[in-house]
Each structure stands twice: as C-alpha cells, then as structure tokens.
C-alpha cells in the first residue's frame, strides 16, 4: 500500500464570529483545521483575532451540533424528535406555507433572523419579497442599527462612516470598543498616540472609558439631553462651521431657538453630568478638527427618546463641519461597482399593497416601505449606486409581531421561519415571546445548535458554521467589499442559509438564478471583471478611496439636497422635526407606581468579549473565560444590601425575577446595576420546563417591550 500523502493548505477566510469580519488565515491538514490566526494583510482589521475567532474550530467540531433535519414528534418543547431528510423537510414546510398563504395571505408568514453575520440578510429579504410577505423582523432591528440608519438617511442621506485613521477627536457614545470592536479599539489607541482626544459617554467606567481624556458618566437614557446641551454650547459660543451651516443645512435658526431650552445647568440636572464638564467636552468636540462620533448601539437601545437622540447626534456631526471630510464622517455609499445587496433583494417584487401591511408601520411611521422608497429615490438622485439595503432600514416592529401572533390583530401571523436567531434569549419580554411561539401553526428553526428557541420548533434544521460557508462582506456604511473562502464543505447534513432558502423558494415557485453562494458572488463581482475563485483567493478585498465632500457636486440625498437639521420628512409624518428630550419610560422619575417600589435602576446590553450575544455558551474554551452571568453593583450599594462579591442575587422588575452572580464594581453608579444579556445554559436539560435554563439568568425575562413605552417614530 502506498504511503498516504499528508496535505496542508492555508485558507483565507472572513471570521463571522461577530460583525467585525476579521480576515483570518486557517491552516488545514488532511481536511482538519490545525491552526487559526489573524491575517495581517486585511486592510481593515490588520491581523486581529479574538478568543471567539480562536475558538471557531471548537464550534465547528462541537459534538452537540445539530447534524440532521429533525421533525417534532411530541408536544412543543417536549424534546421528542425524529430524523428526516432535507427533501421531506422542504416538502412539508412548503406545503404548510402554501396552506397558510391560501388561508390568511402571505403576510401571515414571518421570518426572524439574528444579528449573526454568518447569514446574509439580503438573501432572507429576497426570499420573503418573492413570497409576498413584508414581515421580516429580528431581535435586533429597532434596537440595533435600523434606527440610526433611518434617522441618518433622512437627515443627510446616508449613514456616516468614521474615518478613524485620520481623525483628531473620537467620541465613543455609549460604546465600548475595547470589548465590542477590537480593531477599532486598536485604531483609537493609535490615534491617541498621535495626540487625538478621546471622549467617552457611558454610565459605566468601561475599559474604553478608563482610557478617555474625558469620561462623561451619564444617567442612563438621557443622551438626547446631553446632545442638546452640547448643541447649546456649540451654537451659543459660535463654535460651529458657519460656512457649512449657511450653505448646506436647513433649519439652523429653528434649532438655535430649540437648544435655548437646554442650557448646561439644566442638562446637568437631567444627565447628572456636571455643567462644566458638559461645556468642556462640547468645546473639545467642536474645536478639535476633524472629529468623529462612532456608531454604537447605545442610542438605538434607549427606547422612548432614541430617534431624537440619534437626530441630535447626527446634527452635531453636521454643524461642526465633520461630514464628508478627511478624518470626519464619510457618506460614502455602497461600493460603486459590485452588484449591491439591495439589487439582489428585489424589493420591487413586493407589491405596494403587501408593503403597506408591514407590522408596526401604521404606528411607527419611520418603519415604512414608503419612506424606504423615498430614501432610495434620493440616494439614486445624488449618484449612489442604490440605497442602503432594505434589510437595514425597513423591518417589522418586533414587539408588534409577537402581539399579532397572540391576538391575530391587525391580522393573523401563523408561521415563523427563524434563521440563526434565538429570540427567547434576545427579544425583550421572554414570557410573551414564548407564548407567541406556542401559538404558531408552523415554527421552523435553522441553527447550529439546539437552543431554547429551537426546542419549541416543529422542524429544527442544521445550519453551517461560518467555516463551512463562503463569505462576502459588503459594507453598508463603508464602501468596501471583503471576501473569504469556505474552509471545509458543510459537515453532516448542515446547510447554508442560501441553500435552505433557495430550495424552499424554488419549491414555492420562486426564481433563484444562482445555484449556490459562490455563483451569486460571482454574479455580483462581474462588473469588477473577476471570477469568484480569483477574487477570493488572489484579490480578497476592494476598498475604494473615500471621495470627500461629494455633496459639493451632487448635494445630499435628502428632499432639500441639504442636511435637514429641520426634517421635512418628520414634519410631514407629524413628528417633531427638531430633536427634543423626553424622560426614559422606566426611569425613577417616570416609572409606574408598580416599578417605583424597586430601589435600583437596571441597565443591560454591555458586550462581553468572549460571546456574541447569546452564542458560544456551549464552547468550553469560552465558558472558562466567563463561566457565569455577572451583575455589576457598586460597593456601597452592595454593602447596604448585605451582598458580597460572588453572591448570586435576584434581579426583579415588574415582569418577574432572574438571578445573576454579583460583581462588586466601583465603575457603576451608586443606584444602578448592570446585568449581562444572552445567558442560557446548554449543559442543562433542554426539554420543558427547563429549556436549557432559559428562565434562570436571561435578562429579557424581566425587560419590557410594551409598544406604549417605545420610541414613537421607530418603536425602539
Ligand atoms: S469574533 Fe473576533 S476574530 Fe471573529 S470577527 Fe469578531 S472580533 Fe474578529
């Protein structure tokens, strides 16, 4: 017998363990991964790799992965399954979808996705558009990205992308890149070395805040007041860019009048930041040129006042002259030459009548397709290739979808396809989400593991990890394109998002011209003149240089062609066209009598370096780093309550209680506790009632999603 020849290969991949998409180099020997490291040639992440990326082989070869399609045989949540073929799964799911569509209309079928970058949301959107349903939603939509994208589009036509490499002042507004975005953190440290200033706004003394030149310890949810306070200082002290304001904005005088309501002393009372610090930080931001305010999800999260806070942040960028300048915030549009995700979505295939049925759009008017179509029109008018993909701007209102499933109002929703999402962990108000899922006639989950959510499915279908899938990361705010090879073929019977939706779509009579992801990517890259194989193995990324001040030639992609400080779109929709502060819905000042009996303010959502939201809890290597859910409590508060570091404590709101382990930490304010999100325990029994410890430490069990307390424009 001849000696076996050992083969070794390096695959150039894009990590999709989080949305950073680091370029990595994976060595395979005899078909097995033997090493994984950062790729220094990645122009954006420059060799970075974190523990999640390092742990990817553990994810790939994990013994608990879903390996074959499963069909429920017992009651929902009983954990009784039978293995079936993909063909049977597709046939039966398609049959049920057709039946529901006939009986209730296509809008009765919804699709929920997570924030995982493994999955391409434009593919899901295409599937739903061709099905005729507007109801795509996610745990993230209205609390992560969508509201920023919508507000920035109506204010200056695109989403600003910070040119961090050339900036002199960085404002991290409620974000902690030292934990959530390490390549950006490295750029910040580099910028600081060259003398750039760092301002951090955060209730907690995070690792990022600890390095700040100024840390503003803000009272949670009062960000809009702070932004208006900054605007007050910048306008009254004439620190704004007068030429830009005169030539490229509308509504400045009205704003000037509005901000007189927010002198630093009053803002100090609201935010608990000393007035002098408000003045000092506003002056630094306005006079250190160029400056950026990084995007982070904190403002998207704050609920009732989210949209106005995001508006105020956008206006700050504009009036200080930081839009579209080197080292400022670039409105670059999509990559100008590759076929965009927007074009693949085929949004025009969804009829006007169906678009109007998008759940939540009647109440939260900025979620409408009508607005998206306007944004698209203005984007094209100023020469962008297309608008930001619809998946980033127009999604069903998540709390409204769950309520529609339960009540049948405004119309019935009977089926949900859930791709790479764990809404029992990641959507607020877990008890309500649980009730809704139990009501469904069809619930299909496509995921890597059996999760608490998958345990309630009728069909649990095995999904690939990012190592078993080719990737193309097409910047939405940035204009780059990055690609990564598939490392190995899908294991067992796992399938990509594309393969599952394409096959189901074809069964339902849809048109999918590309046989696989690689064919789709090849089609999209065609205008650049490369085959997929050549691009992914030899070229890998294309990052066109920024075009600064493109508005001087074409104007801004807004109705007036200028930055709309006074928003004509908001005015037409009946909303306040200027930013205005409102107290958070559940603060010590505004809370209901029921909530007021609780003595502490609860915040959540701070990122952990080793987990992407609810993922990774079954990876030993990551659990060793962070074994248990932690709640941060100030030492004096802990002492007053008789709590010691390491004690398990109950955290209670009007919705119930959960427990987490105490981390006594002087970095949180006295009356505030911060609890971690995304916690479940894959090592516990999966069947009801345990559902992998769903009810024990999951913060969303006690977080409200009442639409009456949401932001009135977008429903955050
Ligand atoms: S998980 Fe880590 S290595 Fe992977 S993309 Fe995110 S930051 Fe980069």
Please report, for the domain that includes residue 474, its CATH number: 3.40.50.740
For the segment 165-175, the average pLDDT, to the nearest whole number, is 96
Domain shared by 367 and 396, yes or no: yes
Domain shared by 207 and 316, yes or no: yes
Q: Which of 680, 135, 705 is nearest to 433 (CA)?
A: 705
Q: What is the pLDDT of residue 594?
A: 65
Q: How far is the CA of 53 from the centre of ligand 1 (A)?
A: 5
Given ligand 1 and candidates 14, 44, 48, 473, which is best to mutate, with the most ligand atoms within 8 Å of its CB?
48
Q: What is the pLDDT of residue 598?
A: 66
Q: How far is the CA of 140 from the centre of ligand 1 (A)?
A: 19
For the segment 394-409, the average pLDDT, to the nearest whole number, is 97
Measured by CA distance, the residue closest to atom 1 of ligand 1 is 17
Query: Which H helix or E strand runs over 321?
Result: none
Please indicate, yes or no, if residue 565 is contained in any of the structural domains: no
For the record, the structure tokens of 68 come out as 């074959």
Please report, for the domain that includes residue 190, its CATH number: 3.40.228.10
Q: How far is the CA of 16 from the centre of ligand 1 (A)?
A: 7
Q: How far is the CA of 45 from the centre of ligand 1 (A)?
A: 9
Domain shared by 375 and 418, yes or no: yes
Given ligand 1 and candidates 16, 19, 51, 53, which is best to mutate, with the most ligand atoms within 8 Å of its CB?
53
Residues in the chain: 716
For the cut 70, the answer to whether the pLDDT of residue 301 exceeds it is yes
Domain shared by 356 and 244, yes or no: no
For the cut 60, the answer to whether the pLDDT of residue 4 exceeds it is no
Among residues 542, 563, 580, the one where a domain terminates is 542
Residue 52 CA, closest ligand 1 atom number: 1
Residue 182 CA, closest ligand 1 atom number: 7
Q: How far is the CA of 613 from the centre of ligand 1 (A)?
A: 13
For the segment 101-127, the average pLDDT, to the nearest whole number, is 90
Cα angle 510, 516, 521; round to 5:
105
For the cut 80, the answer to whether the pLDDT of residue 533 exceeds it is yes
Tell me which long-range contacts 513-522 makes (C-beta under 8 A, separation of at least 24).
517/469, 517/470, 518/470, 520/344, 521/470, 521/472, 521/483
Q: How far is the CA of 463 from the centre of ligand 1 (A)?
A: 19
Among residues 504, 526, 542, the one where a domain terminates is 542
Domain shared by 344 and 411, yes or no: yes
Please indicate, yes or no, if residue 346 is contained in any of the structural domains: yes
For the cut 60, the answer to whether the pLDDT of residue 339 exceeds it is yes
Q: How far is the CA of 2 from the centre of ligand 1 (A)?
A: 41
* pLDDT tens-digit series, residues 560-579: 999 999 999 999 999 999 99
Q: Which residues contact 640 (CB under 8 A, 6 or more apart)?
A: none
Please indicate, yes or no, if residue 671 is contained in any of the structural domains: yes
Residue 50 CA, closest ligand 1 atom number: 2
Q: How far is the CA of 17 from the centre of ligand 1 (A)?
A: 5
Please indicate, yes or no, if residue 154 is contained in any of the structural domains: no
Q: What is the pLDDT of residue 1?
A: 43
List the domain range (segments joined by +) for residue 298.
160-330
Given ligand 1 and candidates 38, 39, 49, 466, which is best to mutate, with the most ligand atoms within 8 Å of its CB?
49
Residue 18 CA, closest ligand 1 atom number: 6
Q: What is the pLDDT of residue 547?
A: 87
Looking at the DSSP bridge assignments, the partners of residue 671 are none
* pLDDT tens-digit series, residues 442-498: 999 999 999 999 999 999 999 999 999 999 988 777 788 999 999 999 999 999 999
Q: How far is the CA of 50 from the centre of ligand 1 (A)?
A: 6
Sign of the Cα pseudo-torsion (135, 136, 141, 145, in order):
negative
> Do residues 416 and 402 touch, judged by C-beta distance below 8 A?
no
ipTM metric = 0.98
Measured by CA distance, the residue closest to atom 2 of ligand 1 is 50
Longest dimension (CA), the chain: 88
Instruction: Read off the pLDDT band of 713 (50, 70, 90).
Output: very high
**Tokens 């097995």, located at residue:** 32
For the record, the structure tokens of 55 come out as 């742990």
Q: What is the pLDDT of residue 21?
A: 87
Q: Name the least confident of 4-18, 654-668, 674-688.
A: 4-18
For the segment 386-408, the average pLDDT, to the nearest whole number, is 94
Residue 49 CA, closest ligand 1 atom number: 3
Residue 183 CA, closest ligand 1 atom number: 7
How many CA atoms lie less than 13 Å away from 551 in the CB half-sphere?
26
The Cα–Cα gap between 702 and 110 comes to 25
For the record, the structure tokens of 272 come out as 């608990």
Count CB neighbours of 360 within 10 A.
27
Q: What is the pLDDT of residue 596?
A: 64
Assign 208 to helix, strand or coil.
helix
Q: What is the pLDDT of residue 321?
A: 98
Q: Which residues contact 532 (CB under 8 A, 6 or more apart)?
A: 470, 518, 519, 521, 522, 525
Domain shared by 608 and 675, yes or no: yes
Q: Which residues have C-beta atoms less than 6 Å from ligand 1?
A: 15, 17-18, 20-22, 48-50, 52-53, 182
The Cα–Cα gap between 447 and 658 comes to 26
Assign 169 to helix, strand or coil.
strand
Q: Which of 462, 473, 526, 401 is nearest to 84 (CA)?
A: 462
Give the pairing of strands 329-330 and 161-162.
antiparallel
Burial of 410 (0-12, 13-18, 19+ CB in 10 A): middle
Domain shared by 459 and 348, yes or no: yes
Q: What is the pLDDT of residue 116?
A: 62
Q: How far is the CA of 635 from the centre of ligand 1 (A)?
A: 33
Domain shared by 322 and 406, yes or no: no
The Cα–Cα gap between 637 and 660 comes to 16
Assign 710 to helix, strand or coil.
coil
> Do residues 229 and 284 touch, judged by C-beta distance below 8 A?
no
Among residues 299, 330, 361, the one where a domain terminates is 330
Query: Which H helix or E strand runs over 146?
Result: helix 146-156
Domain shared by 484 and 361, yes or no: yes
Residue 21 CA, closest ligand 1 atom number: 5
Residue 51 CA, closest ligand 1 atom number: 2
Cis before 290? omega within 30: yes
Q: How many distinct structural domains can be found in the chain?
A: 4
Angle between helices 369-381 and 146-156 (to 10 degrees): 50
Count CB neighbours of 534 within 10 A.
12
Please indicate, yes or no, if residue 556 is contained in any of the structural domains: no
Domain shared by 254 and 347, yes or no: no
Please report, for the domain that includes residue 38, its CATH number: 3.30.200.210
* pLDDT tens-digit series, residues 504-521: 999 999 999 999 999 999
Q: Which of 90, 72, 146 is nearest to 113 (CA)?
A: 146
Q: How far is the CA of 48 from the centre of ligand 1 (A)?
A: 8
The Cα–Cα gap between 413 and 407 comes to 9
Q: What is the pLDDT of residue 336?
A: 87
Assign 566 to helix, strand or coil.
coil
Q: How far is the CA of 474 from the centre of ligand 1 (A)?
A: 16
Q: What is the pLDDT of residue 406?
A: 98
Alpha carbon of 92 to those of 112, 459, 509, 548, 663: distances in Å?
20, 10, 15, 53, 49
For the record, the structure tokens of 512 come out as 């999918």
Domain shared by 166 and 231, yes or no: yes
The Cα–Cα gap between 205 and 170 comes to 17
Please indicate, yes or no, if residue 94 is contained in any of the structural domains: yes
Measured by CA distance, the residue closest to atom 6 of ligand 1 is 18
Given ligand 1 and candidates 13, 16, 18, 56, which is best to mutate, with the most ligand atoms within 8 Å of its CB?
18
Q: How far is the CA of 33 from the centre of ligand 1 (A)?
A: 17
Q: How far is the CA of 22 from the centre of ligand 1 (A)?
A: 6
For the record, the structure tokens of 189 come out as 């440290």
Domain shared by 522 and 455, yes or no: yes
The Cα–Cα gap between 218 and 694 comes to 32
Please indicate, yes or no, if residue 497 is contained in any of the structural domains: yes
For the segment 248-261, the average pLDDT, to the nearest whole number, is 98
Measured by CA distance, the residue closest to atom 8 of ligand 1 is 22
When the pLDDT of each residue in the chain is averaged and rounded to a whole number, the result is: 94
Please report, for the domain that includes residue 625, its CATH number: 2.40.40.20
For the cut 90, the answer to whether the pLDDT of residue 402 exceeds it is yes
Please indicate, yes or no, if residue 147 is contained in any of the structural domains: no
């Amino acid at each position: 017998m001849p000696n076996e020849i050992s083969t070794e290969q390096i695959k150039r991949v894009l990590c999709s363990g989080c949305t950073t998409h680091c370029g990595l180099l994976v060595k395979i020997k005899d078909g097995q991964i033997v090493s994984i490291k950062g790729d220094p040639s990645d122009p954006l992440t420059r060799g970075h790799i974190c523990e999640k990326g390092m742990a990817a082989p553990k994810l790939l070869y994990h013994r608990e992965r879903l390996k074959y399609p499963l069909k429920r045989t017992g009651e929902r949540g009983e954990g009784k399954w039978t293995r079936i073929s993909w063909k049977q799964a597709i046939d039966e799911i398609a049959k049920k979808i057709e039946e529901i569509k006939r009986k209730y209309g296509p809008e009765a079928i919804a699709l929920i996705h997570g924030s995982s970058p493994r999955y391409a949301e434009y593919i899901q959107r295409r599937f739903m558009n061709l099905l005729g349903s507007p109801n795509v939603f996610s745990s993230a939509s209205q609390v992560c990205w969508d509201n920023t994208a919508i507000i920035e589009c109506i204010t200056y036509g695109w989403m600003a992308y910070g040119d961090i490499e050339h900036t002199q002042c960085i404002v991290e507004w409620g974000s902690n890149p030292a934990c959530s975005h390490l390549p950006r953190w490295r750029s910040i440290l580099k910028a600081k070395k060259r003398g750039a200033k760092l301002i951090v706004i955060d209730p907690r003394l995070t690792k990022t805040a600890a390095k700040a030149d100024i840390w503003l310890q803000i009272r949670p949810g009062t960000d809009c007041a702070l932004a208006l306070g900054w605007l007050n200082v910048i306008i009254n002290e004439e620190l704004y860019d007068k030429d830009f304001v005169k030539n490229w904005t509308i509504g400045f005088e009205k704003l000037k009048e509005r901000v007189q309501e927010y002198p630093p002393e009053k803002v100090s009372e609201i935010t608990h930041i000393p007035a002098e610090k408000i003045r000092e930080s506003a002056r630094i931001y306005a006079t250190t040129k160029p400056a950026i305010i990084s995007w982070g999800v904190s403002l998207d999260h704050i609920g009732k006042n989210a949209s106005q806070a995001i508006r105020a942040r956008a206006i700050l960028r504009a009036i200080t002259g930081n839009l579209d300048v080197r080292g400022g915030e670039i409105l670059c549009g999509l990559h100008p030459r590759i076929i965009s995700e927007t074009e693949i979505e085929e949004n025009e295939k969804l009829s006007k009548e169906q678009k109007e049925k998008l759940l939540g759009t009647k109440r939260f008017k900025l979620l409408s397709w009508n607005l998206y179509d306007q944004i698209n029109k203005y984007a094209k008018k100023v020469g962008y290739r297309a608008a930001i993909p619809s998946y980033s701007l127009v999604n069903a209102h998540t709390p409204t979808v769950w309520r529609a499933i339960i009540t049948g109002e405004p119309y019935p929703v009977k089926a949900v396809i859930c791709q790479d999402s764990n809404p029992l962990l990641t959507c607020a108000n877990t008890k309500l989400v649980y009730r809704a899922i139990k009501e469904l006639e069809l619930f299909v989950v496509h995921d890597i593991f059996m999760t608490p959510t998958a345990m309630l499915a009728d069909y649990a279908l095995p999904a690939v990890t990012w190592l078993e899938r080719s990737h193309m990361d097409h910047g939405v705010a940035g204009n780059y394109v990055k690609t990564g090879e598939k490392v190995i073929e899908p294991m067992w019977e796992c399938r990509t998002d594309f393969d599952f939706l394409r096959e189901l779509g074809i069964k339902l009579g849809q048109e999918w011209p590309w046989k696989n992801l690689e064919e789709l990517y090849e089609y999209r890259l065609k205008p650049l003149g490369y085959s997929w194989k050549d691009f992914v193995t030899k070229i890998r990324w294309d990052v066109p240089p920024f075009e600064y001040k493109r508005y001087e030639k074409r104007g801004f992609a807004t109705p007036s062609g200028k930055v709309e400080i006074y928003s004509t779109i908001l005015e037409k929709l009946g909303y306040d066209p200027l930013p205005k502060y409102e107290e958070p819905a559940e603060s010590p000042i505004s809370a209901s009598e029921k909530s007021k009996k609780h003595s502490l303010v609860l915040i959540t959502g701070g990122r952990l370096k080793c987990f992407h939201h609810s993922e990774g809890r079954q990876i030993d290597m990551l659990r060793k780093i962070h074994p248990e859910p932690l709640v941060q409590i100030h030492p004096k508060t802990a002492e007053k309550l008789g709590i010691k570091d390491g004690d398990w404590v109950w955290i209670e709101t009007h919705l119930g209680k959960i427990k987490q382990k105490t981390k006594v930490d002087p970095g949180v304010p006295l009356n505030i506790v911060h609890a971690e999100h995304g916690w479940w325990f894959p090592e516990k029994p999966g069947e009801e009632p345990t559902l992998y410890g769903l009810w024990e430490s999951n913060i969303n069990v006690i977080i409200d999603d009442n639409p009456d307390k949401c932001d009135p424009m977008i429903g955050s």
